[in-house]
Structure 1
Amino acid sequence: MSEKQQKASAYWKENVKYLFILLAIWFAVSYGAGILFKDALNQFHMGGFPLGFWFAQQGSIYMFVILIFVYVRLMNKLDKKYGYDKE
């Protein structure tokens, strides 16, 4: 395997790691906060609505948008690390 292939393989391995971590966070927020822990979270209110309901309706969407920006930032750093930002 050439050095270029090794570099590309390491790049994609790290990229997939980031994807799994970010998707796990999104899953935890959307499924965990919106469904599993909604009864405990409903004791608190946000914007006049129970917090569990808010996460199920709005929180997971907001978290997804935030994670998109985090992913972009991570990928920019990853591109610089492996030298793909110059192409």
Structure 2
Amino acid sequence: MASYTVQADEWGVHGVTLDAGTVTTIHFPDDVDEIEVLSHDGAAPIYFTVDGSDPAVEGRASRVLPAAISSAQVEPPTAGPTVVKLISAGTPKVSVTRA
């Protein structure tokens, strides 16, 4: 499981390649108002959560970006530190940033 921390003076992590079937966690130690998840290459669908819970491939409690170059902007439903978790059945390249 890969894990990254984005400090308050940083925008996000860029160009991270997900490992198939493995959760990647992005920690923002502050309360972020809006998160953007960007699929660089559309190599595979990306499932993600912004509330700290674990996503699942094709999981009903997970948000999804399709297998296409695309992005989603989401307001985390929690207060305090923001935790974004991502998973994919493939190995797409993603960025996770403050929006």
| TM-score interval (norm. to shorter) | under 0.3
Structure with the largest fraction of helix = 1
- Calculate the TM-score normalised by the size of structure 2: 0.20
Structure with the largest fraction of strand = 2
Structure of higher RCO (CA pairs closer than 8 Å, 6+ residues apart)? 2
- Calculate the TM-score normalised by the size of structure 1: 0.22
